[in-house]
Amino acid sequence: MHHFIAESYFDVVTNVNDTWARVKALPNYREEFGVALFRRMFEVAPDAWTVFPWGRGNKNDEDMFKNPEFLKFARRFTEMLDMAIDMLGPDMELVEEQLTDIGIMHSRVGVVPRHYPLMGACLIDTLADKLGPETFTRRHRDAWGATFQFMSTTMLQGAFDDMKRKLEGGGKKNGGSMRHSVL
């Protein structure tokens, strides 16, 4: 890897890990962060609400943010994000496999490609809100943008490959996905 690219990649991972460690220091971070993130997501993409079992036929209102199934989901989403961040490093194969599988699952439950950039923007907004401008600087914002781009591209590739396999009559997931890096 070219020295400049390796250095830039290291900076991205360091900035993401630094800010995520600060999120993890917040009280009840799994639930609080997840709820705040999805509250923002449902503001900008109300149609995303209907992807979830507890959202079908229900209003996107304050009571829904107290729904035990939603709270469980918010915690699990934050744990998934935590897992992906912990896996960032020189060997990206494992995180790519996990994200590919998550992309397949998202596609199968009705998440559509337009939701991905919206979620990225909501993630960055939520980090900025939770951490404040002193902690969440422009370089942190850029690092998270690059990281989410990697994550969402990998997930979308998994969803695309899964749809392609279905159209071609194959059902099993096998290799062949394009692999991407953060930079």
pLDDT tens digits along 132-162? 999 999 999 999 999 999 999 999 999 999 8
Q: Assess if residue 145 is contained within a domain.
A: yes
Which of these, 143, 155, 183, lies nearest to 20 by C-alpha position?
143
Q: Quick one: pLDDT at residue 5?
A: 41
Q: Which two tokens stand for residue 156?
A: 């979308």
Domain span including residue 29: 3-167
Kindly state the average pLDDT of the residues 155-182. 70
Kindly state the average pLDDT of the residues 29-47. 93
Which of these, 167, 120, 170, 126, lies nearest to 147 by C-alpha position?
120
Q: Assess if residue 114 is contained within a domain.
A: yes
Distances (CA, A) of 5 to 20, 34, 55, 140, 182: 22, 32, 43, 17, 10
Q: Which amino acid is at 159?
A: A
Q: Assess if residue 32 is contained within a domain.
A: yes
Q: Is the pTM of this model over 0.85?
A: no
**Tell me, what DSSP letter sits at residue 46?**
G
180 falls in which pLDDT band (50, 70, 90)? very low
H-type alpha helices, the chain: 3-24, 29-44, 68-87, 93-109, 115-131, 138-167
Q: Assess if residue 181 is contained within a domain.
A: no
**How many domains does the chain contain in total?**
1
> How many angstroms separate the CA atoms of 73 and 65, rounded?
11
Its sign, for the CA torsion 160, 166, 170, 172, is positive
Q: Assess if residue 83 is contained within a domain.
A: yes
Half-sphere exposure of 176 (CA within 13 A, CB side): 9
Residue labelled with tokens 């998994």: 158
Q: Assess if residue 36 is contained within a domain.
A: yes
Q: Assess if residue 73 is contained within a domain.
A: yes
What is the percent of the chain where pLDDT is above 70?
Answer: 84
> How many angstroms separate the CA atoms of 103 and 160, rounded?
9
For residue range 110-127, list pLDDT tens digits in order.
Answer: 888 888 999 999 999 999
Q: Assess if residue 183 is contained within a domain.
A: no
Mention every residue, 6+ apart, whose C-beta is less than 8 A from residue 41.
48, 115, 118, 119, 122
For residue range 55-88, list pLDDT tens digits in order.
Answer: 665 566 777 788 898 899 999 999 999 999 998 8
Could you tell me the CATH number of the domain that includes residue 71?
Answer: 1.10.490.10
Distances (CA, A) of 43 to 4, 16, 40, 109, 173: 39, 25, 5, 20, 34
